[in-house]
A and B are shown apart, each in its own frame.
Chain A
Amino acid sequence: MARVLVGVKRVIDYAVKIRVKPDKTGVVTSGVKHAMNPFDEIAVEEAIRLKERKVAQEVVAVSCGPTQAQETLRTALAMGVDRGIHVEVSDSEYEALQPIHISKILAKIAQDEKADLVIVGKQAIDDDANQTAQMTAAFLDWPQGTFASKLEKIDDKLKVTREVDGGLETIQIKMPAVISADLRLNEPRYATLPNIMKAKKKPIKKLTLSDLGVDTTPRIEVLSVEDPPTRQAGVVLADVDQLIVKLKEGGHI
């Protein structure tokens, strides 16, 4: 396997309680802590491990977004990725981008870079779409190994253990292929200070949408973004007996 491409997204940090904008057009992102999407950290870690096991020769990270996406790429580089590709878009363009567009971008770069494997997280924790790997695989006509919790290369094939509803499933897919990482695929490493310093010297290539020739016409119109209904405040009970009374009242027992 010569080259692994790994897709990374900059999202609002997982621990932040998001706020909906008063005009209902989206959520507040300015001045809010951002970080690499947790599933993408796992994707990066897996790609680096493939290189450390000498299964892959080179790992390239791709991120599409405004200027700040470079911070996310630097994080990937500090973890051990060899080089980065930043597909730069304006803030307004970025808001209209969906997995279908990102997948077309990833598919094009995978072809241009002659990647043998594309790894992305199974979902971004902001849009929760869970679509990019599947759509990238479809655009490339490559097989997909979604929700992967174990990856093994056997000759020119990949054995993938997947997290499915009732348990686990093992499939074998032909390379080149697309993988989406589930939480249990690995435990991502922390970038050490020396590696963060080294990452500053690693190359990040800049591309634009027109370089790639990808049509990013919006496919959806956002009508509104609202807060979900809030639950009424509950009561604290004194003991188990009171709880049993409440469960009886509710018809649960």
Chain B
Amino acid sequence: MKFFSPQLNSYLRRFESTLVIAEHNNEKLLPITQNALTAAKKLGGDITVLVAGTKCGSVAEQLSKASGVAKILVADNEAFLGFTPESLTPLVLATQNQFNFTHILAGATALGKSLLPRIAAKLDVSPVIITIIYHHSVSFTGNAILTLKSKDPVKVVTIRGTSFEADPLEGGSTQTEAIPAGDYKTDLSQWLSQELSKSDRPELTGAKVVISGGRGLKSGDNFKMLYELADKFNGAVGASRAAVDAGFVPNELQVGQTGKIVAPELYIAVGISGAIQHLAGMKDSKTIVAINKDPEAPIFQVADYGLVADLFKVVPELNQKL
């Protein structure tokens, strides 16, 4: 589209329409949907948001306050318990058949990444991962930026949350409408249970400050001082793969290529050497601080401020002085 003149561009955009698949837990909208909304607005054209779940009325209500949304479709059905891709895919396909969207968007979360490729395959299109609109980055561990042009008629896209501001969900009053009932029950899959870590801290991918620990912490107990430090900043705690593999902290705290991608205002890496895979998850942070006793650690190559010191001395001192 960037190859056309602005006039033609806006003319074409009138025919564009985007479906944003909302992610939520039936009580609250997850912040990633707000990032996806911002991305959808950058595309131009009509925006429709699909809220599917079991008793998701309050989520739809939250979304109705977003500006620039043409339609909110609500699909409330027991079939969507656990948000299984096997039940949601036919719903999205039915919605697509009715409205013919040019773009289908969701956040690049565990759910978005499970669901969108399944939808794309059913539409026989190739899904893409976007970081900046029209710069569809598919990364080599974040070490290369690929700009691509999709030739498919429908663009199915997962949005990297850290690359877009969150939509404030203000200034709008969109009516919600129920999607025509369909039979979305499937015997292919069944959601059984979940074990989610409970924490009062901000969510890792949305936190303004992230304090991460690595193998250098030596034990899960020693992470206590990182939690203490995080509390000073109202920040979240993350970890390197080494710390997760060693059992110091649970998997969902892993920051990196295969874990969470974060881009906070401040990232403090404690006892993390800075392997390529870890850097891929945090090198877009605004300010990076590294605390490591090895002056050769690669983390110092991306850190704005480095402290070459024993973390067991420095972190308690920092906690005491802050």
Tell me the A residues contacting B by CB distance below 8 Å: 12, 14-15, 17-18, 20, 27, 39, 98-100, 103, 122-123, 125-132, 134-139, 142-144, 146-147, 149, 159, 162-174, 182-184, 218-228, 231-237, 239-241, 243-244, 246-247, 250, 252-253
With A20-B144, A164-B110 as contacts: A236 and B300 at CB distance below 8 Å: yes
Q: Count B interface residues, CB 8 Å.
A: 88
Contacts of B317 in A (CB 8 A): 240
Query: Which 4 pairs show the lowest CB-CB distances between chains A and B?
Result: A138-B121, A134-B117, A219-B126, A143-B188
Question: Once the chains bind, are A234 and B306 in contact (CB under 8 Å)?
Answer: yes
- The minimal Cβ–Cβ distance linking A36 to chain B, given in whole angstroms, is 16
> Given B86, B141, B148, B301, which contacts A222 in the complex, CB threshold below 8 Å?
B148
Once the chains bind, are B252 and A244 in contact (CB under 8 Å)? no
- Quick check: A244 and B318 within 8 Å, CB to CB? yes
Shortest distance from the beta carbon of A219 to any chain B beta carbon, whole Å: 4
Q: Are B191 and A252 in contact (CB under 8 A)?
A: no
As a 0/1 sequence over residues 178 to 201 of chain B, the CB contacts with chain A under 8 angstroms (1 = contact) are 000000000111111111110000
Mark the stretch among B12-20, B35-43, B166-174, B283-291 that contacts chain A.
B283-291
B residues adjacent to A (C-beta < 8 A):
82, 84-86, 89, 109-111, 113-122, 124-129, 136, 138-152, 187-197, 205, 209, 232-233, 241, 244-245, 250-252, 257-258, 260, 265-266, 276-277, 283, 287-289, 295, 300-309, 314, 317-318, 321-322
By a CB distance below 8 angstroms, the chain A residues around B110 are 146-147, 162-165
Q: Which residue of B lies closest to A159 (CB)?
A: B192
Q: Which residues of B contact A135 (CB under 8 A)?
A: 117-118, 120-121, 127
The reply to whether A221 and B120 contact each other, CB–CB distance below 8 Å, is no
Q: Once the chains are docked, how many angstroms separate the CA of A179 from the CA of B205?
A: 26
Would you call A240 and B191 a contact (CB within 8 A)? no
Across-interface contacts of A17 in B (CB, < 8 A): 143, 276
Is there an interface contact between B147 and A127, defined as CB atoms closer than 8 Å? Answer: no
- Bound-state Cα–Cα, A183 to B192, Å: 22
Q: Which residues of A contact B300 (CB under 8 A)?
A: 234, 236
Question: Cβ of A253 and Cβ of B257 under 8 Å apart?
Answer: no
Q: Is the CB of B192 within 8 A of A171?
A: yes
Q: Say yes or no: A128 contacts B140, CB within 8 Å.
A: yes
Task: Provide the residues of chain A in CB contact with B194, threshold 8 Å.
Answer: 164, 166-170
Q: Could you tell me the distance between the alpha carbons of A136 and B120 in the complex, rounded to whole angstroms?
A: 11
Contact of A134 (CB < 8 Å), options: B121, B233, B306, B318: B121
Instruction: State the total of A-B contacts with C-beta under 8 angstroms.
Output: 239
The answer for the CA separation of A84 and B251 in the assembled complex, in Å, is: 33
Question: What is the bound-complex CA distance between A51 and B253, given in angstroms?
Answer: 33
Cβ of B118: which chain A residues have Cβ within 8 Å of it?
134-135, 137-138, 144
Can you list 6 A-B contacts with CB-CB less than 8 angstroms, sorted by A residue number?
A138-B89, A171-B82, A220-B151, A228-B145, A237-B305, A240-B307
Asked if A103 meets B121 with Cβ closer than 8 Å, knowing A223-B149, A234-B288, A243-B289, the reply is: yes
B250 touches A225 (CB 8 A): no
> Chain B's nearest CB lies how many Å from the CB of A172?
5
A253 close to B148 (CB less than 8 A): no
Please give me the residue from chain B that is nearest to A173 by CB atom: B189
Are the CB atoms of A167 and B257 closer together than 8 Å? no
Cα(A246)–Cα(B140), bound, Å: 33
User: Which B-chain residue is minimally distant from A165 (CB atoms)?
Assistant: B110
Q: Given the known A-B contacts A123-B258, A167-B194, A236-B306, are A219 and B144 also in contact in the complex, defined by CB atoms under 8 Å?
A: no
Q: A138-B122, A165-B110 are contacts. A246–B305 as well, Cβ < 8 Å?
A: yes
Given contacts A135-B117, A166-B252, A227-B145, contact A240 B318 (CB under 8 A): yes
The answer to whether A131 touches B127, judged by C-beta atoms less than 8 angstroms apart, is yes
B151 near A240: Cβ-Cβ < 8 Å: no
* Cα distance, A103 to B126, chains bound together (Å): 11
Q: How far is the CA of A14 from the CA of B143 in the complex (A)?
A: 12
Alpha-carbon distance between A157 and B280 when the two chains are bound, in angstroms:
36
The interface residues of chain A lying within 8 Å CB-to-CB of B82 are 169, 171
Whether B139 pairs with A128 at a CB distance below 8 angstroms is yes
**Across-interface contacts of A252 in B (CB, < 8 A):** 209, 233, 265-266, 287
